[in-house]
Amino acid sequence: MRGILFMLVAILLLSCMDALAKWLLTAHDVTVIQILAIRSIIILPLLLLVFSLRKNLATLKPNRTKLHLWRGAIGFISPLAFFLGIRDIPLTDAIVLFFSSIFIVTILSVIFLKEKVGVHRWVSICIGFIGVLIVATPEGGGQLQGYLLVLLGSATYSMLFVSSRYLSSTENVPSMVFSYNLCVGVISLLLLPWFWETIQWEPLMWLIVLSLLAVSGHYCITMAFASSQASLVAPFEYSGIIWGISFDFLLWNTLPSYSTMWGASIIMASGLYIVHRERVRVQALV
């Protein structure tokens, strides 16, 4: 229950972050680069403060610096593409499409980590991508470019996830979290002069709230996987769909289309089956 509760809280916090980002982008003309830059400016000092108080700053030092830099550069594309995408499509559609990452992670694990994937999971992946195509049909009022950007965000997030598993043999989680946020911060600050817009005090305060939601959400996800088996807590990520529907209705007075709900059902069913098959595989190895 501890792991499940952490996951539910994490998804709530991150869904609030996504809704707040969409609101800032559409209602206050804040740019995505500004969001990423300010978020990094807040997150990095917080990480340094926490590990400094623990007298454990050395934990943040990477062992394989070049791979961390490549990982951070690729990972920068994920929030950039996702936030650009949610400007043009309903939040629910974006959240559902982002769940396609479980299929991409499985494929990348075969290519880069040489993991074995059986027929059951390959069939689930194919069916899952059918669900993705159904959701990406712009029936819900979104623009095609928004759907493509969110899928790009999902694909690069999958690469970030697989690279974490690859580096886990020599690197610890804090060093990967810190180096990733450092890369995002450096890149976004370098790009900031070309994307700067004057920010009033109110949206600036909300940007600070967004950053705190990001930190808290990722901390809760880490605690969720540390407290329980991944196959037990991972399905509760789908609670994000409920929050997406709620925010779309309350803030933008929209409800998901039939194609979104059908596609979401297919994606969730395929994703849950992949999690189930992974659990069976792990138990067989034990």
Cβ atoms of 34 and 195 within 8 Å: the answer is yes
For the chain, the maximum distance between any two Cα atoms, rounded to a whole number of angstroms, is 57
Q: How many domains are contained in the chain?
A: 1
The CA distance from 286 to 268, in Å, is: 27
HSE, side-chain direction, 13 A CA sphere, residue 140: 31
- What pLDDT score does 247 carry? 94
pLDDT of the residue at 226: 66
pLDDT at residue number 184: 92
Listed in sequence order, the DSSP H helices in the chain are 2-27, 32-53, 65-86, 91-98, 101-112, 119-135, 144-167, 173-195, 201-227, 230-233, 240-252, 258-285
37-73 pLDDT tens trace: 998 988 899 889 988 988 888 888 888 888 999 988 9
Instruction: Give the pLDDT of residue 231.
Output: 62
The counts of H helices and E strands in the chain are: 12, 0
Q: Which parts of the chain register pLDDT below 70?
A: 138-142, 225-226, 229-231, 281-286
Identify the domain containing residue 171 by its residue range.
2-285
